[in-house]
Amino acid sequence: MYLNREEDSSKGSVSLSVFLVSLAVTVCAVWLVALCGICGWCQRKLGKRNKPGVETADTPDSARGRGEKKAIKGNKPVNSPKGQPPDADGHSSVTDLANSLTGDMVMLSPGSEDDDGEGPVSEKLGRIQFSIGYSFQNTTLTVKVLRGQDLPAKDFSGTSDPFVKIYLLPDKKHKLETKVKRKNLNPHWNETFLFEGFPYEKVRERTLYLQVLDYDRFSRNDPIGEVSIPLNKVELGQLKTFWKELKPCSDGSGRRGDLLVSLCYNPTANTITVNIIKARHLKAMDIGGTSDPYVKVWLMHKDKRVEKKKTVTMKRCLNPVFNESFPFDVPAHVLRETTIIITVMDKDRLSRNDVIGKIYLSWKSGPAEVKHWKDMLARPRTNVAQWHALKA
């Protein structure tokens, strides 16, 4: 009886030990399965992060790449065609992003932002045809002013009233003038002028100087351009005809500086926005060799002034930066009769403000102005910028 009890107790202890061992094995198995699952998840994550062709997380460029990716993702239309894959490095094109950010400004010739350190804007001033001859028998120099071609517009109506002054330099006291040709950019003068009693030796010491001007009844005549030809370089025995390109006037009146202007036409709102960006190489109007420039913008309909706006004054500055925009209401049906006159002024506290130079923008102004106007209409809702040479 006693022996049976001992056998039962030994059997119970053995079964308890088996149970504890089984429990320990089960717990270990569960932990192993869980641990393997975690390792597999980590491997999948690491595998995604370290795919070939994509930067790893611990490189400095990877943070920049992800930043660019976010920026491009936020701006969905980035000028890339539908279905076009990103660049080979996994990023969308940075050039496309830059284009999307600056696409609302178009820079047109003549001039650009890269021209800042270069020479002035070259402007075509047209050309003039004339003839020169000398009569040895009568000791008379004959000058014929025949015609002009492709002269620039000086009036806001898109035309000019040109005439020609004739000098024999260095004498500027005695001059001859042609008649004024009204509203004509290709005038025909066909006028003959005689310089009598000039010995041939003296004629060869002179320089023929022709200055083309735009006649203005109420203010100073505006110079258009000039031509000079030393007579000792011309065979004067026969009447010879020349075509010469007009050059800016050497007295400084032809160079007044340049102005960078952008135009934006909105056909939906019927507005033209004029942005006065900056000027360069402005003519000094003050005694101290500088100017206090500001800009006036007039909206003209036919010959009537409709609206005026102006910028702030920049003190003692020949290369001012304005960056001021002015919207004007311009219905589509009056576009062809609209002119925008931009005048750069020098502010003077004690006397009348001086005009540094002007620009006339319309569909019938000078070649550079007409080009800017047409480009504005061809690119609606876009700021179209262009450098313009200021005119007297």
Hey, how many other C-beta atoms are within 10 angstroms of the C-beta on 211? 24
The whole-number pLDDT of residue 34 equals 63
- CA pair distance 13, 53, nearest whole angstrom: 63
**pLDDT, tens digit, 9 for 90 and up, residues 263-273:** 999 999 999 99
Which secondary structure element, helix H or strand E, spans residue 277, and what is its range? strand 271-280
349-355 long-range contacts (CB < 8 A, ≥24 apart) are: 354/285, 355/392
Question: For the purposes of burial, counting CB atoms within 10 Å of the CB of 220, is it exposed (0-12), middle (13-18) or buried (19 or more)?
Answer: exposed
The whole-number pLDDT of residue 38 equals 54
Strand, coil or helix: 178: coil
The whole-number pLDDT of residue 217 equals 75
Strand, coil or helix: 164: strand
Q: Can you list the domains of the chain with their CATH numbers?
A: 127-248 (2.60.40.150), 257-390 (2.60.40.150)
- CA pair distance 262, 387, nearest whole angstrom: 9
The whole-number pLDDT of residue 109 equals 53
Write the CA distances from 191 to 141, 152, 178, 304, 305, integer angstroms.
14, 22, 7, 36, 37
The whole-number pLDDT of residue 246 equals 92
In eight-state DSSP terms, residue 247 is: B
- CA pair distance 319, 90, nearest whole angstrom: 45
- Cβ atoms of residues 108 and 384 within 8 Å: yes
The whole-number pLDDT of residue 45 equals 45
- CA pair distance 295, 358, nearest whole angstrom: 9
- Cβ atoms of residues 65 and 52 within 8 Å: no
Quote the pTM value: 0.48
- CA pair distance 129, 242, nearest whole angstrom: 6
Q: Which residues of the chain have pLDDT under 70?
A: 1-16, 18, 30, 32-123, 156, 218-220, 250-254
Write the CA distances from 4 to 8, 15, 18, integer angstroms.
6, 17, 21
208: nearest Cα among 183, 178, 233: 233
The whole-number pLDDT of residue 117 equals 40
The whole-number pLDDT of residue 92 equals 38
257: nearest Cα among 313, 321, 319: 319
Write the CA distances from 230 to 47, 138, 207, 208, 210, integer angstroms.
84, 21, 4, 6, 12
- CA pair distance 355, 309, nearest whole angstrom: 16
Name 140's bridge partners.
135, 196
The whole-number pLDDT of residue 39 equals 55
DSSP 127-148: EEEEEEEEETTTTEEEEEEEEE
**Through-space distance between the first and last CA atoms of the chain, rounded to whole angstroms:** 137
The whole-number pLDDT of residue 219 equals 65
**pLDDT, tens digit, 9 for 90 and up, residues 164-175:** 999 998 887 778
The whole-number pLDDT of residue 158 equals 75
